[in-house]
Chains A and B, each alone.
Chain A
Amino acid sequence: MSILSILKSCQKCSQATGAIVGILLLVQLLTGLLLAFYYVPSVDHAYTTVSYIEKVVSSGSWLRSLHHYGSQWLTLFIFLHLVQLFLNQAYIFCKSQWIVSVVILALVMAAGGTGYSLPWDARAFFSTRVAEGLMAGLPLAGRNARLWLLGGSEISTLTLSRFFAMHVLVIPAFLITVAMWLLFRSRRLAAFFNSRNGVAAGLVFVALAIWCWKHPAPLGPSVAEMPAEYLPRPGAQFLWLYQSLKYIPGGLGSLAGVVLPGIALVLLVALPWLKAQRVIGAAILAACVGLVSVMTTAAYLSDRRDPRTWTQLSKQAAAEEAARREPFKPASIIVAAAAPAAAADALNAPTMYRKWCVQCHGASGEGGRQGPFRFPPLRNLSAKPRRTADDIVALLKDPRAYDLQPPMTSFSGKMTEDHMRQIAEWLLQLK
């Protein structure tokens, strides 16, 4: 094979789809960065901050819509790019570009999956449940995979934090690294962005911008206000998975939803070194196209055909539209004033209490914690057993006799019994 033909093939590899993927990646990075200025990844504030972006912040709805629909368009175009590379036999002539494109597809799907959970609306909650189920059903590692995904034994604010960190830090870091490596190491930036590809990418961006201007990104009811009959639907790029899982029971679903796509991705990455690469690649890509188009159509049709489902989905869409027009409901944060009594108590604390006890148990006996140690509050002691004034004096002399653990120590050598009794009497009048 001559150098000339390799060069020609590489030029072919740099088709318009590559430039479109580049522009859409740029859009995702810019809009994602902006959304992070308002978003809070915690179950009690995530939904509020997202609806604040939607309803209050100028241009917020458009930027979020760009991020939402942009991720679906990106998945579509990266796949088209892959098909185009395959037809040009990039797995032989431009191995690096082929591998990077497969990796970008995987990363974009992962970003879409984790990002769907972030608004913490009803949709997000159910998509997190699906991810949980897929992990739990994995053979052998299922139990641990589920725990590691959720960050605990159930879906909680820790799960949301994990998805957030994956979505905004880990996955973009990988994406930027592989994309930059491809563009600069192989000096293909200029080839990607020749004038024709540039125009194509520009047109796609304009189309996306107009679409997002007309269609705000969906935001369902918050998890707290979710009606019992709510029917969740995933984003367009995951409809195929959602529909497939309907046909496959339990653990088999995990095989079909995680293991098979995983094997397909590994095979695609390894394609340059496989025998019969043409057949394997064509089979995988054709299977993807077939599965995704058939299942996506099936998902739409089955919703359309079942009148009860269709009524419910229409009702949800109407409710969402109505919720969009409602004024923004801010989150409520309540800061209570210190009880004036506590401040007065602190002033009356005996000198020896201030000297020896304050560090751990607080100025007015409110307790506290330092690192792994928790120091019990000393208020309302009169309601507890074995805490008369005599008990407290005895306890200060020998804490072990009262089953107390270090760092509580004996104060026999540090203060007189009178001091101890002063402390005990002061403590007992704290309420």
Chain B
Amino acid sequence: MQPAEERPAFLRQRVNMETNDSRRSFLKILPLGVVAGVFASIGGAAFRFLRPRLAAASDRWLDVANVSELSGPQPITRKVVAQHIAGWAVTTEEHNVFVLPANGNQVLSAVCPHEGCEVAWQQNTNRFACPCHESYFAADGSRISGPARRALDTLPARVQDGKLQVQYTSQA
């Protein structure tokens, strides 16, 4: 190995650095530290930025109808309008529900408990029928036959100022 003095300048500099271990390791770490700093500051913000936002549980009471309008032996089909806030969008969803005046204004969700199609009231056969897989439910919502394994879901309901109200949850 030739003496350091006889090497070209840019190689000599390297030899000098090799002789000074702590300085060399510091200088090597410094640029890495800068990159790590960029990652850390943006990464810290990214953690806050990406943190999932939990939707507040929907406990709003939705108007179904005036109690005075509800009478008779037949289930009555009504629409309720529910609002979901998810991130930057407010989703307004209309849902069909059935009010059973014969059953103390019990409110049934129209969502079939099998695969989630909307059931319809068939007046001539006096039952609810699901158009998708032909599940049938009696006028009080109990299951008659078909692939569905339970009765139509009952929604929490109350009467406030003469109005029937429900809380709508898509999966009761």
Residues of A near any B CB (own CB < 8 A): 4, 7-8, 11, 19, 23, 26-27, 30-31, 34, 37-38, 45, 48-49, 52, 56-60, 62-63, 66, 193-195, 197-199, 201-202, 205, 209, 328, 330-338, 340, 343-344, 346-347, 363-364
Contacts and interface: CB of A to CB of B under 8 A. Distances in A.
A47 to B, nearest CB: 10
A285 B47 CA distance: 42
B150 interface: no
Contacts of A56: 88
Contacts of A26: 35, 38
Nearest to A189: B31
- B-side interface mostly: mixed
A330 B89 contact: yes
Interface string B119-162: 11110000001010000000000000000000000000000000
A191 to B, nearest CB: 11
B96 A4 contact: no
A19 B85 CA distance: 45
A197 B91 CA distance: 51
A60 to B, nearest CB: 6
Given A52-B87, A57-B49, 20 more contacts: A4-B8, A30-B42, A30-B46, A34-B46, A38-B88, A198-B30, A198-B32, A201-B31, A202-B37, A205-B34, A205-B38, A330-B85, A331-B90, A332-B90, A332-B92, A333-B90, A334-B92, A337-B79, A347-B122, A347-B129
A293 B37 CA distance: 33
Contact of B121 (A34, A66, A337, A344): A344
B94 interface: yes
A56 B49 CA distance: 10
Interface in B78-104: 79, 85, 87-96
A429 to B, nearest CB: 14
A160 to B, nearest CB: 17
Instruction: Give the interface residue-count category, chain B.
Output: 35 or more
A334 B79 CA distance: 14
Contacts of B35: 23, 26, 193, 198
A198 B38 CA distance: 11
B57 interface: no
Contacts of A194: 27, 31
A4 to B, nearest CB: 6
Contacts of A60: 49
Given A34-B49, A52-B87, A199 B121 contact: no
B50 interface: yes
A30 B46 CA distance: 9
A193 B120 CA distance: 70
Contacts of A197: 31
A195 B31 contact: yes
Contact of A59 (B49, B93, B118): B49
B19 interface: no
A66 B46 CA distance: 12
Interface in B35-92: 35, 37-39, 41-42, 45-46, 48-51, 77, 79, 85, 87-92
Contacts of B79: 337
Given A52-B88, A63-B42, A335 B93 contact: yes
A118 to B, nearest CB: 15
Contacts of B166: none
Given A197-B31, A205-B34, A59 B88 contact: no
5 contacts: A63-B45, A199-B30, A201-B34, A337-B94, A347-B129
Contacts of B121: 340, 344
Nearest to A333: B91
Nearest to B42: A30
Given A23-B34, A198-B34, A59 B87 contact: no
A364 B117 CA distance: 14
B108 interface: no
A411 to B, nearest CB: 23
A340 B91 contact: no
Nearest to A330: B90
A343 B92 contact: no
Contact of B122 (A8, A209, A344): A344
> Which of B8, B26, B120 has the most CB atoms of chain A within a 10 A radius of its CB?
B120
Contacts of A328: 88
Given A48-B88, A205-B37, A195 B30 contact: yes
A364 B118 CA distance: 13
A31 B131 contact: no
Contacts of B95: 337
A334 B92 CA distance: 5
